[in-house]
Structure 1
Amino acid sequence: MDRKRPNHEDHGGYNKKQRPNTNTANHGQRGMNGPRNGPIPQKAPTFHDKTNPILRELAQLPDPERCDPCKLASEELQSGMVALLDQLVQDEAGGKRDKDVLHHARELHGLLSKRLSVNFPSKPIKDLDSKRPETIPKINIPPYIAQPFKLSKSLPPLPPITEPYLQEAVFTHTTANDSKSAKTRGYRGTEINYERLEFLGDAYIEIIASRLIYSRFPDVEASKQSYWREQLVRNETLCQYSKAYGLGNTLKHGPHIPESKSWGKILADVFEAYVAALVLSTPDSAAGFQTAESWLTELWSPKLLEFNVQPIENPKARDEINKLVMAKGIKLDYREERKMELTKGKQKFFIGLYLTGWGFVNEHLGSGEGQNKSQACVFAAQDALLDKRGIVKRANAEKLKVYPPKPKEDVA
């Protein structure tokens, strides 16, 4: 009876069922009585081995430096983090108010927000800059600063244009150019005329009028604000100003232009071009815009006062009182203090402003009267800012204990 031989490994380190290749070139010499050399162990694939399946998979992945979706996903993740931190700050400020959590959440919120701002401009803006670069300096439009109305008996002085090239372009009509280029309207190469400046000045005048009306008449409905703006910027109004300043007397043009039906429109165009040149000719573009805005505000003051609505000295009064005392859980209540009165067909509303929070309950801050509730609320906020009893100051001090101001970063 055959006996099963046990499966033993020999001294060469291999199993007899798995006999090694006897190729002496690979496995060395085998002696008569000595042990056999075992097989040469195979090396694990490395990252330099092109047959490595892991390397093949990695090669198919996009390069993070060149992958726009990867960058977009990273930015979206950080934007989401900023939104979550913003919510966390609000929750902590209105709940348990853990000062450490609140402090670090605000710090991280600020750092991520700064990082996101560095990633701009975006690719579309970069493409636009490369294919259609800007040809004039950027115009910095400053925040609106309310100025008192000046009802002048005469026109305010005409601010000077300090750049000679722009001065020449403002007072040159297309018909003053050579006869060949005068056949068609528009800017042609080195041809100098006011048309491109008129295009830009029209936009400046529109935004200055919009800022002025939006700030001075916050209680007026948008449809009426649009109508009033149109009264300020329409060609008939600008033509009158152009005539009053004698801008047409300096204009270089072809024959018979002043007698044409379009002369009024031309004078309005010259006025628009003058505003654009005024902004562009100032080295500090923000200062140039402010000069134009101050001049137009004084020029438009008589018309604005004809709108038969009481101008508001501080149109941002409600925003200012909110910044001083408002926070989560704090209430500023605008209430009717007495019924509306009708005098000579005109309404008058009476509104009071009351504070609940920071240790005060229904504390009266100020009162105001107006032709409608919105206007009366603004006047009530103005009265509250006077802080005759020091309530606003005390409430603001309590707010600063919970929401301390952020330290200003040193500008290197």
Structure 2
Amino acid sequence: MATDPAIEAAALARTLFDHEPADPTLFVAALTHGSHTSTHRGSASYERLEFLGDRVLGLVVADWLYSRFPNEEEGKIARRYNALVARETCAEVGRSLGLPDHIRLGRQARDDKAQQSDNVIGDVVEALMGALYLEAGMKKCERFVHTHWAPWLDGQRKAPVHPKSALQELAAAKKLGAPTYEKTGIKGPPHNPIFTVRVTLRHYTAEAEGSSKQEAETEAAKALLKELKAS
């Protein structure tokens, strides 16, 4: 017999957050992809909660970095921040917590393995934070983030430079002008798209794929950086 979604979501909230949900349906929604709601009438998806949780995560991380690095300039803190709240980081946190097994998907999305998509897992992580914030407030959100994002922050010996920024800096140093990015393709289903982006710098070009336009741009910048450093 199938497990009651509310019972499963409440158990997950207790495990992840040490929190007993007053309204388990809030956590059910945080685990529910839009493809599931299209085939299950009356079911709510995670979109609104993800919107809220994204802002909660951003504030917690910004406050954490501000306190952790009191003498660091804004630019370096911003680079640390961008790495910690990136969709890829959220997805890795979600995988480490076993969240893909709990995501509620429509049949087609499940067949397409959307539960392994960085976009979907990252959205669910943020949606769960939105649900936790509504029920338990900021302190429990802080505790959750400080626990599960610590390995990423502790691994930053220095503020990371985003590949697009690094490419721009190298281009300026070599007097090559500014890189330009062009979306050259998109494939896959709407819930799990793959974008292709080409970056051009003078006569140098590189192309890469990603689960979002931003991710594809980042991967293209990495590829072109590697080429430029080797030339």
With the shorter chain as reference, the TM-score category is 0.5 to 0.7
Describe the shift of the 1:255–1:208 C-alpha distance in structure 2 as closer, same or farther (beyond 3 A): same
Does residue 228 of the first structure (1) align with residue 86 of the second (2)? Answer: no
Letter paired with 1:195: E
Q: RMSD of the TM alignment (CA)? A: 2.2
Q: 1:224 to 1:269 in 2, by over 3 A?
A: same
Instruction: Work out the CA distance in 1 between the residues paired with 2:113 and 2:157.
Output: 37
Q: Cα distance 1:180–1:304, how it changes in 2: closer, same or farther (>3 A)? A: closer
Provide the residue aligned with 1:201 in structure 2. Answer: 53
Pairing partner for 1:171 from 31, 38, 44 = 31
CA distance in 1, matches of 2:62, 2:20: 24
SS of match in other structure, 2:149: helix
Q: Distance in 1 between matches of 2:40 and 2:97?
A: 32
Q: CA deviation at 1:260?
A: 5.1
CA distance in 1, matches of 2:132, 2:107: 28
Q: CA deviation at 1:191?
A: 4.5
- Aligned twin of 1:249: 101
Alpha-carbon separation, structure 2, partners of 1:198 and 1:241 = 15
Secondary structure at the counterpart of residue 158 of structure 1? helix
Is there any run of 5+ residues in structure 2 with no aligned partner, and where? Answer: 1-14, 159-231
Cα distance in 2 between the residues matched to 1:161 and 1:221? 40
Residues 1:260 and 1:290: Cα distance change in structure 2 (over 3 Å):
same
SS state of the match for residue 303, structure 1? helix
Conservation of the 8 A alpha-carbon contact between 1:161 and 1:281: no
For the residue of structure 2 that corresponds to 1:257, the secondary structure is helix
Q: Work out which of the residue numbers 137, 158, 173 in structure 1 matches 2:16.
A: 158
Q: Report the counterpart of residue 148 of structure 1 in structure 2.
A: none
Map 1:3-22 onto structure 2 (within 5 A).
none
| Cα distance change, pair 179–294 in 1 and its aligned pair in 2 (3 A) | closer
2:24 is matched by which residue type in structure 1? P
Alignment of 1:4-403 (within 5 A): 158-159=16-17, 160=19, 162=21, 163-179=23-39, 191-258=43-110, 259=112, 263-282=117-136, 288-308=137-157
Q: 2:39–2:106: 8 Å Cα contact kept in structure 1?
A: no
**2-structure distance, mates of 1:268, 1:252:** 14
Shift of 1:237: 0.6
Q: Indicate the SS of the match to 1:172.
A: coil
- The Cα shift of 1:252 comes to 1.3
Q: CA deviation at 1:308?
A: 2.3
Unaligned stretches of 5+ in structure 1? 1-156, 182-189, 283-287, 310-412
Judging changes above 3 Å, is the alpha-carbon distance between structure 1 residues 245 and 221 closer, same or farther for their aligned structure 2 residues? same
Q: Which residue of 2 aligns with 1:38?
A: none
State the 1:158 CA deviation.
1.4
Secondary structure, counterpart of 2:16 in structure 1: coil
Report if the CA contact (8 A) 1:257-1:263 is conserved. no
CA contact (8 A) 1:172 1:192 kept: yes
Aligned CA distance change for structure 1 residues 307 and 178 (closer, same or farther; 3 Å): closer
How much identity, in percent, do the aligned residues show?
Answer: 29
Give distance in 1, aligned partners of 2:20 and 2:100: 16
Higher helix share: 2
Instruction: Name the CA shift for 1:229/1:161 in 2 (closer, same or farther; >3 Å).
Output: farther
In the alignment, residue 173 of structure 1 is paired with which amino acid?
A: H
Contact 2:88 2:118 in 1 (8 A): yes
Residue pair 1:175, 1:253 contacting (<8 A) in 2 also: yes
C-alpha distance in 2, partners of 1:241/1:235? 10
Letter of the 2:35 partner, please give it. Answer: T
Deviation at 1:279, TM superposition (A): 1.1
Q: Is the 8 A contact 1:176 1:253 kept in 2?
A: yes
Q: Which amino acid aligns with 2:138?
A: F
CA distance in 1, matches of 2:91, 2:67: 26
How far residue 180 of structure 1 moved from its aligned partner, in angstroms, is 9.3
Change (3 A) 1:180 1:244: closer
Q: Aligned in 2, Cα 1:173/1:276: closer, same or farther, shift over 3 Å? A: same
